[in-house]
Amino acid sequence: MSGYADERTARALIVRTARSLFTRGLTHGSTGNLSLRLADGSLLLTPTGSSLGGVTEEELSRTDLNGRHLDGPAPTKETFLHAAFYRARPDAHAVVHLHSTHAAAVSCLDGLDPANALPPLTAYYAMRVGTLPLLPYHAPGDVALEPLAERTARTHHAVLLANHGPVVAGATLEKAADAVEELEETAKLHLLLRGHATRPLTPEQAAALAPAPS
């Protein structure tokens, strides 16, 4: 297990990615949070109550792999989700959690398949996301979700939180951000196509493109 070796570079990358997600409307207000795993095993996260559009490098928080605060401002109240993904996935060095509009909208729909909330409408979704488990509703910051999130993350690098939004892990922050954007675009397509007959990828086509297990 390794991570980002240069903390200064890691801080700049988090802030740059946060600005990009915010300015392109993938998060709003003070919603959403990002993290990176550093080479020493600690986690660098956006702080609680911060906007991804305005957070600075100096405002980032650092915790251990169990979410215990080490230094900096208080971390996001959803630190436990990030920590759960890192413990479950030794290959993960970044986690992105957003309240992106279309993915959040899908998370509010009735009748979703809890094993896979979105169909594989495009090849890029199958490649970057694969299957998307729906985790049952918990209030933001409710640590009762932590054990379920950790168990699910062992076999899936992306999940959708009911009535909330997506959480995606990646080997790098760039890969995690790409995957969560692909998830958002597929959620948008899914909503646009509701009421129309669709032709998702077949199980065989999706399986051929699925992300490799860690």
What span, in angstroms and rounded, lies between the C-alpha atoms of 91 and 31? 26
CA 74 to chain centre: 20
> Do 149 and 135 form a contact (C-beta atoms < 8 A)?
yes
95: nearest Cα among 106, 79, 118: 79
Q: Which of 78, 181, 182, 184 is catalytic?
A: 78
Residue 156's H or E segment, with its range, is: none
Q: Is 199 buried (19+), middle (13-18) or exposed (0-12) by CB count in 10 A?
A: exposed
What span, in angstroms and rounded, lies between the C-alpha atoms of 120 and 94? 24
Q: Which of 4, 58, 86, 124 is catalytic?
A: 124
95: nearest Cα among 165, 162, 147, 30: 165
86 tagged catalytic: no
124 tagged catalytic: yes
What span, in angstroms and rounded, lies between the C-alpha atoms of 180 and 94? 12
Look at the chain and count its residues: 214
Amino acid at site 123? A
What span, in angstroms and rounded, lies between the C-alpha atoms of 36 and 172? 8
Q: Tell me which residues are annotated as active site.
A: 78, 124
